[in-house]
Protein backbone atom coordinates (compact mmCIF):
# COMPACT_ATOMS: atom_id res chain seq x y z
CA UNK A 1 0.00 0.00 0.00
CA UNK A 2 1.35 3.42 -0.99
CA UNK A 3 1.26 5.97 1.86
CA UNK A 4 1.55 9.71 1.25
CA UNK A 5 3.30 11.40 4.15
CA UNK A 6 5.76 14.19 4.89
CA UNK A 7 5.77 17.76 6.16
CA UNK A 8 3.44 20.64 5.39
CA UNK A 9 2.95 24.22 6.54
CA UNK A 10 0.02 24.77 8.90
CA UNK A 11 -1.39 28.26 9.40
CA UNK A 12 -3.29 29.42 12.48
CA UNK A 13 -4.78 32.88 12.89
CA UNK A 14 -3.35 34.69 15.90
CA UNK A 15 -5.16 38.00 15.57
CA UNK A 16 -4.90 41.45 14.01
CA UNK A 17 -2.23 44.18 14.04
CA UNK A 18 -1.42 47.45 12.34
CA UNK A 19 1.74 47.76 10.28
CA UNK A 20 3.18 49.27 7.11
CA UNK A 21 2.25 47.61 3.80
CA UNK A 22 4.96 48.13 1.15
CA UNK A 23 2.46 47.27 -1.58
CA UNK A 24 -0.22 49.74 -0.47
CA UNK A 25 2.61 52.12 0.56
CA UNK A 26 0.84 53.11 3.76
CA UNK A 27 -0.03 51.62 7.18
CA UNK A 28 -2.83 49.07 6.98
CA UNK A 29 -4.61 46.52 9.18
CA UNK A 30 -3.05 43.05 8.99
CA UNK A 31 -4.13 39.56 9.93
CA UNK A 32 -1.35 37.83 11.85
CA UNK A 33 -0.87 34.06 11.53
CA UNK A 34 1.38 31.49 13.13
CA UNK A 35 3.18 29.27 10.61
CA UNK A 36 3.96 25.75 11.76
CA UNK A 37 5.69 22.83 10.04
CA UNK A 38 3.74 19.68 10.84
CA UNK A 39 3.86 16.05 9.78
CA UNK A 40 1.00 14.85 7.62
CA UNK A 41 -0.43 11.60 6.31
CA UNK A 42 -2.37 12.00 3.07
CA UNK A 43 -2.03 15.79 3.66
CA UNK A 44 -3.94 15.56 6.95
CA UNK A 45 -1.83 16.99 9.76
CA UNK A 46 -2.20 16.59 13.49
CA UNK A 47 -1.59 19.70 15.59
CA UNK A 48 0.04 23.00 14.74
CA UNK A 49 3.51 21.58 14.17
CA UNK A 50 6.87 23.07 15.05
CA UNK A 51 7.00 26.86 14.90
CA UNK A 52 8.40 27.99 11.54
CA UNK A 53 7.61 31.68 11.87
CA UNK A 54 4.76 34.15 11.51
CA UNK A 55 3.23 36.03 8.61
CA UNK A 56 1.07 39.11 8.34
CA UNK A 57 -1.42 39.54 5.52
CA UNK A 58 -2.61 42.99 4.48
CA UNK A 59 -6.37 43.17 4.68
CA UNK A 60 -6.40 45.71 1.83
CA UNK A 61 -4.31 44.08 -0.93
CA UNK A 62 -4.07 40.55 0.48
CA UNK A 63 -0.26 40.39 0.23
CA UNK A 64 1.55 38.42 2.94
CA UNK A 65 4.91 39.17 4.52
CA UNK A 66 7.06 37.61 7.21
CA UNK A 67 6.24 38.99 10.64
CA UNK A 68 7.84 39.27 14.07
CA UNK A 69 5.13 39.33 16.78
CA UNK A 70 7.50 40.83 19.37
CA UNK A 71 7.37 44.11 17.41
CA UNK A 72 3.78 44.66 18.52
CA UNK A 73 2.68 45.90 21.92
CA UNK A 74 -0.28 43.54 21.77
CA UNK A 75 -2.33 41.56 19.28
CA UNK A 76 -6.03 42.24 18.82
CA UNK A 77 -8.29 39.21 18.74
CA UNK A 78 -10.83 41.07 16.62
CA UNK A 79 -10.48 43.21 13.47
CA UNK A 80 -10.72 46.96 14.02
CA UNK A 81 -10.26 50.26 12.13
CA UNK A 82 -6.63 51.17 11.45
CA UNK A 83 -6.46 54.04 13.97
CA UNK A 84 -7.80 51.89 16.79
CA UNK A 85 -5.66 48.91 15.78
CA UNK A 86 -2.50 51.02 15.59
CA UNK A 87 -3.09 52.52 19.02
CA UNK A 88 -3.59 49.07 20.53
CA UNK A 89 -1.00 46.96 18.70
CA UNK A 90 1.69 49.32 17.35
CA UNK A 91 1.44 52.67 19.20
CA UNK A 92 4.94 53.81 18.18
CA UNK A 93 4.57 52.86 14.51
CA UNK A 94 4.87 56.41 13.19
CA UNK A 95 8.09 56.95 15.12
CA UNK A 96 9.62 53.59 14.15
CA UNK A 97 8.71 54.04 10.48
CA UNK A 98 9.26 57.79 10.34
CA UNK A 99 11.81 57.72 7.50
CA UNK A 100 9.79 55.33 5.35
CA UNK A 101 6.57 57.23 5.91
CA UNK A 102 8.31 60.48 4.97
CA UNK A 103 9.60 58.86 1.78
CA UNK A 104 6.13 57.60 0.91
CA UNK A 105 4.70 61.08 1.45
CA UNK A 106 7.17 62.30 -1.14
CA UNK A 107 6.08 59.50 -3.49
CA UNK A 108 2.47 60.59 -3.19
CA UNK A 109 3.02 64.35 -3.43
CA UNK A 110 6.07 64.83 -5.64
CA UNK A 111 7.39 61.61 -7.19
CA UNK A 112 9.46 63.59 -9.67
CA UNK A 113 11.56 64.98 -6.79
CA UNK A 114 12.93 61.55 -5.91
CA UNK A 115 16.51 60.78 -6.87
CA UNK A 116 17.11 58.17 -9.56
CA UNK A 117 18.49 55.80 -6.90
CA UNK A 118 15.37 56.22 -4.75
CA UNK A 119 13.08 55.67 -7.71
CA UNK A 120 14.92 52.55 -8.81
CA UNK A 121 14.82 51.04 -5.32
CA UNK A 122 11.12 51.81 -4.90
CA UNK A 123 10.21 50.43 -8.34
CA UNK A 124 12.30 47.31 -7.79
CA UNK A 125 10.95 46.59 -4.30
CA UNK A 126 7.45 45.24 -5.14
CA UNK A 127 8.91 42.92 -7.80
CA UNK A 128 11.18 41.40 -5.16
CA UNK A 129 8.36 41.18 -2.62
CA UNK A 130 6.17 39.24 -5.05
CA UNK A 131 8.96 37.15 -6.57
CA UNK A 132 8.52 34.26 -4.11
CA UNK A 133 4.87 33.95 -5.14
CA UNK A 134 5.92 33.45 -8.76
CA UNK A 135 8.72 31.03 -7.85
CA UNK A 136 6.29 28.90 -5.85
CA UNK A 137 3.66 28.92 -8.60
CA UNK A 138 6.02 27.81 -11.36
CA UNK A 139 7.90 25.26 -9.23
CA UNK A 140 5.16 22.70 -9.88
CA UNK A 141 2.33 21.99 -12.29
CA UNK A 142 -1.00 23.66 -11.57
CA UNK A 143 -4.39 23.01 -13.13
CA UNK A 144 -6.50 26.16 -13.30
CA UNK A 145 -10.14 26.48 -14.31
CA UNK A 146 -9.39 26.84 -18.00
CA UNK A 147 -7.16 23.76 -18.11
CA UNK A 148 -9.78 21.73 -16.23
CA UNK A 149 -12.53 22.78 -18.62
CA UNK A 150 -10.31 22.05 -21.62
CA UNK A 151 -9.69 18.53 -20.30
CA UNK A 152 -13.43 17.96 -19.98
CA UNK A 153 -13.95 19.34 -23.48
CA UNK A 154 -11.14 17.13 -24.82
CA UNK A 155 -12.73 14.02 -23.33
CA UNK A 156 -16.02 15.02 -24.88
CA UNK A 157 -14.37 15.45 -28.28
CA UNK A 158 -12.55 12.12 -28.06
CA UNK A 159 -15.54 10.05 -26.94
CA UNK A 160 -18.67 11.80 -28.19
CA UNK A 161 -17.29 13.22 -31.44
CA UNK A 162 -16.27 9.88 -33.05
CA UNK A 163 -19.59 8.32 -32.01
CA UNK A 164 -21.51 11.01 -33.84
CA UNK A 165 -19.34 10.63 -36.93
CA UNK A 166 -19.71 6.85 -36.84
CA UNK A 167 -23.48 7.18 -36.75
CA UNK A 168 -23.37 9.22 -39.94
CA UNK A 169 -20.42 7.72 -41.83
CA UNK A 170 -19.15 4.38 -40.49
CA UNK A 171 -16.22 4.29 -42.93
CA UNK A 172 -14.77 7.48 -41.43
CA UNK A 173 -14.73 6.25 -37.81
CA UNK A 174 -10.97 5.67 -37.52
CA UNK A 175 -10.08 9.00 -39.10
CA UNK A 176 -12.63 10.78 -36.91
CA UNK A 177 -11.10 9.29 -33.77
CA UNK A 178 -7.63 10.56 -34.75
CA UNK A 179 -8.94 14.02 -35.63
CA UNK A 180 -10.86 14.43 -32.38
CA UNK A 181 -7.95 13.14 -30.29
CA UNK A 182 -5.70 15.69 -32.00
CA UNK A 183 -8.24 18.46 -31.40
CA UNK A 184 -8.53 17.50 -27.74
CA UNK A 185 -4.76 17.47 -27.24
CA UNK A 186 -4.42 20.80 -29.02
CA UNK A 187 -7.09 22.36 -26.81
CA UNK A 188 -5.46 21.17 -23.57
CA UNK A 189 -1.96 22.15 -24.72
CA UNK A 190 -3.17 25.61 -25.74
CA UNK A 191 -4.66 26.20 -22.29
CA UNK A 192 -1.56 24.88 -20.51
CA UNK A 193 0.68 27.22 -22.49
CA UNK A 194 -1.51 30.17 -21.56
CA UNK A 195 -1.89 29.30 -17.86
CA UNK A 196 1.25 31.15 -16.79
CA UNK A 197 0.16 34.44 -18.27
CA UNK A 198 -3.34 34.00 -16.83
CA UNK A 199 -1.84 33.53 -13.37
CA UNK A 200 0.32 36.63 -13.71
CA UNK A 201 -2.57 38.78 -14.93
CA UNK A 202 -4.97 37.58 -12.24
CA UNK A 203 -2.70 37.51 -9.21
CA UNK A 204 0.40 39.66 -9.80
CA UNK A 205 -0.03 42.39 -12.41
CA UNK A 206 -2.80 44.32 -10.66
CA UNK A 207 -0.95 44.20 -7.34
CA UNK A 208 2.26 45.46 -8.95
CA UNK A 209 0.33 48.21 -10.69
CA UNK A 210 -1.23 49.31 -7.39
CA UNK A 211 2.20 49.63 -5.81
CA UNK A 212 3.91 51.26 -8.80
CA UNK A 213 1.20 53.66 -9.94
CA UNK A 214 2.14 56.51 -7.53
CA UNK A 215 5.70 56.41 -8.91
CA UNK A 216 4.55 56.73 -12.54
CA UNK A 217 7.44 54.56 -13.79
CA UNK A 218 8.61 54.95 -17.35
CA UNK A 219 8.92 52.02 -19.72
CA UNK A 220 12.69 52.38 -19.56
CA UNK A 221 12.69 52.14 -15.75
CA UNK A 222 10.50 49.02 -15.83
CA UNK A 223 12.65 47.38 -18.49
CA UNK A 224 15.80 48.11 -16.47
CA UNK A 225 14.35 46.47 -13.35
CA UNK A 226 13.11 43.44 -15.29
CA UNK A 227 16.48 43.07 -17.00
CA UNK A 228 18.28 43.01 -13.64
CA UNK A 229 15.85 40.50 -12.14
CA UNK A 230 16.12 38.34 -15.25
CA UNK A 231 19.89 38.30 -14.87
CA UNK A 232 19.40 37.25 -11.23
CA UNK A 233 17.12 34.42 -12.47
CA UNK A 234 13.90 35.66 -10.91
CA UNK A 235 11.00 34.03 -12.76
CA UNK A 236 8.85 37.12 -12.24
CA UNK A 237 11.05 38.88 -14.83
CA UNK A 238 10.49 36.25 -17.52
CA UNK A 239 6.83 35.50 -16.79
CA UNK A 240 5.74 39.13 -16.54
CA UNK A 241 4.50 40.71 -19.76
CA UNK A 242 5.41 44.37 -19.72
CA UNK A 243 2.42 45.25 -21.89
CA UNK A 244 0.03 43.73 -19.30
CA UNK A 245 1.64 45.71 -16.49
CA UNK A 246 1.57 48.96 -18.48
CA UNK A 247 -2.12 48.45 -19.27
CA UNK A 248 -2.89 48.18 -15.55
CA UNK A 249 -0.72 51.17 -14.73
CA UNK A 250 -2.78 53.27 -17.13
CA UNK A 251 -6.05 52.14 -15.52
CA UNK A 252 -7.54 53.31 -12.24
CA UNK A 253 -9.04 49.98 -11.21
CA UNK A 254 -8.34 48.45 -7.81
CA UNK A 255 -6.57 45.06 -7.73
CA UNK A 256 -8.20 41.86 -6.65
CA UNK A 257 -7.42 40.48 -3.23
CA UNK A 258 -4.72 37.85 -3.20
CA UNK A 259 -2.42 35.86 -0.94
CA UNK A 260 1.33 35.58 -1.12
CA UNK A 261 2.98 32.99 0.87
**Cα distances (angstroms) measured from residue 66 to each of 52, 125, 230:** 11, 15, 24
Cα–Cα distance, 235 to 229 (Å, whole number): 8
**What pLDDT digit, counting tens, does each position of 197-217 carry?**
787 888 789 899 999 999 989
pTM of structure:
0.72
**Cα distances (angstroms) measured from residue 247 to each of 138, 148, 242:** 24, 28, 9
pLDDT of residue 173: 63
**What pLDDT digit, counting tens, does each position of 120-157 carry?**
999 999 999 999 888 888 877 667 677 788 888 877 77
- Sequence ranges of the domains in the chain: 5-109, 145-250
**Ranges of residues in the chain whose predicted pLDDT is under 70:** 1-8, 39-47, 141-142, 144, 161-173, 176, 252-261
∠ CA 115-23-245, rounded to 5°: 80
pLDDT of residue 252: 60
Amino acid sequence: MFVVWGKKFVYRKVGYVADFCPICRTPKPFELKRVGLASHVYYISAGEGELAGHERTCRECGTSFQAEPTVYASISKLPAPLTQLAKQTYPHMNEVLRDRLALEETVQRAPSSLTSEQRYALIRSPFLLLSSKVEKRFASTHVDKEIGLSMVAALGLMFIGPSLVTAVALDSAELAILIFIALGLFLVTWQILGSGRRFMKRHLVSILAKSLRPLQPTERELRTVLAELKQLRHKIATKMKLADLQAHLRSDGEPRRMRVK
